[in-house]
Amino acid sequence: MKHFTEKEWKSYVDGSIHLEQQVIMEDHLYGCDVCLADYLRVNDQFNHFKVPETPIGQMEELLKEMNVTPKKKQQKRKNKQHPMIHYVIAASLTVYLMSSGLFHQVTGVWKDAESNVTNKAPESMTENLMDRTLILLDRLQSTK
């Protein structure tokens, strides 16, 4: 059984070897305790390097090295898109229209239309027939 060197395990840990070689080395680890111990030792050494805890930490360190400050977040909404502005505009228009009497005029038109419809009670067919008969009799008498 061929054992891998410490240099080969370092290449495996840092990912600089081909996929086929990685598969061969992984299969070898299942059956060889000596190589497993070497791999664990190299892996521990490799993980002792300073690595930022989060990707945000990495980005902040890079920005500090480059002397670049991140831009502040842009406003989520422009002033024209803020809903409070729409509410203020709607309330102002309502107050203006109420003070101008437009709503009163509109309700007055509706009241007039409604009263015209309700005041005209539908005539019954009998009353209509009686009225026409009386008109006809009056014309006959006036012609004699």
- How confident is the model at residue 71, as a pLDDT? 61
Residue 13 buriedness (CB in 10 A; 0-12 / 13-18 / 19+): middle
Residue with tokens 């990912």: 15
Tell me the per-residue pLDDT of 20-78, one tens digit each, with 9 for 90 and over: 888 888 888 888 888 888 888 888 887 655 554 556 667 777 777 777 665 655 555 56
Dist CA 21 CA 26 (whole Å): 9
User: What does DSSP assign to residue 4?
Assistant: P
Dist CA 69 CA 64 (whole Å): 8
User: What does DSSP assign to residue 51?
Assistant: -
- How confident is the model at residue 119, as a pLDDT? 57
Name the residue type at position 53.
E
Compute φ and ψ for 117, nearest 5 degrees.
-70, -40
Tell me the per-residue pLDDT of 87-109, one tens digit each, with 9 for 90 and over: 888 888 888 887 787 767 767 76
- How confident is the model at residue 95, as a pLDDT? 84
